[in-house]
Amino acid sequence: MARREQYIVGLDVGTSTVACVVGESLEDGSLNVVGIGVSESRGIKRGVVVNLEAAVDSIKKAIEEAELMAGIEIDLVHLALSGPHIKGFNSRGVVAVAGKNREVTRDDVRRAIDAAKAVALPTGREILHVLPQDFVVDEQDGIGAPEGMTGARLEVNVHVVTGAMSSTQNIVACVNRAGVQVTDTVIEQLAAAEAVLTPDEKELGVALVDIGGGTVDLAIYERGHLWHTAVVAVGGDHFTSDIAVGLRTPIPDAEKVKRKSGCALSSMVDEDATIEVASVGGRKPRLMARRILSEILQPRAEEIFHLIWDEIRRAGYEKSLNSGIVLTGGGAILEGMPEIAEQIFDLPIRRGTPIGVGGLADHISSPVFATPVGVALYAHRNRVPDVRGAGGAFSRVVSQLRSIFKEFF
Answer yes or no: do 226 and 317 share one domain.
yes
Answer yes or no: do 108 and 252 share one domain.
no
Answer yes or no: do 318 and 174 share one domain.
no
With CA atoms as reference, report the closest residue to 35 among 2, 4, 75, 63.
63
Q: pLDDT digits over 115-139, tens only?
A: 999 988 889 999 999 999 999 998 8
Band the pLDDT of 358: cuts 50, 70, 90.
confident
* Structural domains counted in the chain: 3
**Distance between CA atoms of 346 and 264, rounded to whole angstroms?**
17
**Distance between CA atoms of 158 and 397, rounded to whole angstroms?**
16
Contact status, residue 312 vs residue 324, Cβ threshold 8 Å:
no
Answer yes or no: do 246 and 364 share one domain.
no
Answer yes or no: do 160 and 176 share one domain.
no
Query: Given a cut of 90, is residue 208 above it in pLDDT?
Result: yes
Answer yes or no: do 179 and 34 share one domain.
yes
- Provide the domain limits for residue 346: 199-353
Query: Given a cut of 60, is residue 248 above it in pLDDT?
Result: yes
Between the CA of residue 203 and those of 200, 227, 373, what are the distances in Å? 5, 12, 22
- Written as one string, the DSSP assignment of 280-300 is STTPPPEEEEHHHHHHHHHHH
**Distance between CA atoms of 374 and 372, rounded to whole angstroms?**
5
With CA atoms as reference, report the closest residue to 207 among 215, 382, 192, 85.
192
Output 398 or 356, whichever has higher pLDDT. 356
Answer yes or no: do 203 and 348 share one domain.
yes
Q: pLDDT digits over 152-188, tens only?
A: 899 999 999 999 999 899 999 999 999 999 999 999 9
Strand order in the sheet with 31-40: 181-187, 76-81, 7-13, 17-25, 31-40, 358-359
Answer yes or no: do 123 and 174 share one domain.
no
The confidence score (pLDDT) of residue 384 equals 46
Instruction: Give the predicted TM-score (pTM) of the model.
Output: 0.87
With CA atoms as reference, report the closest residue to 53 among 173, 154, 167, 152.
173
Between the CA of residue 381 and those of 110, 158, 175, 356, 403, what are the distances in Å? 20, 20, 23, 12, 8
Answer yes or no: do 382 and 255 share one domain.
no
pLDDT, mean over the chain: 87
Beta pairing class for 206-211 and 181-187: unpaired
Q: pLDDT digits over 1-34, tens only?
A: 334 568 899 999 988 889 999 999 888 888 889 9
Answer yes or no: do 223 and 258 share one domain.
yes
Tell me which H or E stretch contains 302. helix 290-315
Query: Given a cut of 70, is residue 295 above it in pLDDT?
Result: yes
The confidence score (pLDDT) of residue 392 equals 45
Answer yes or no: do 229 and 98 share one domain.
no
What is the rounded average pLDDT of the residues 244-271? 89
CATH number at residue 103: 3.30.1490.110
The confidence score (pLDDT) of residue 144 equals 85
The confidence score (pLDDT) of residue 383 equals 72
The confidence score (pLDDT) of residue 195 equals 92
User: 3-state DSSP call for residue 56?
Assistant: helix
Tell whether the torsion through CA atoms of 38, 42, 48 and 51 is positive or negative: negative
CATH number at residue 243: 3.30.420.40
| Domain final residue pick, 338, 353, 368 | 353
Between the CA of residue 265 and those of 318, 335, 348, 349, 366, what are the distances in Å? 24, 8, 17, 15, 21
Answer yes or no: do 139 and 173 share one domain.
no
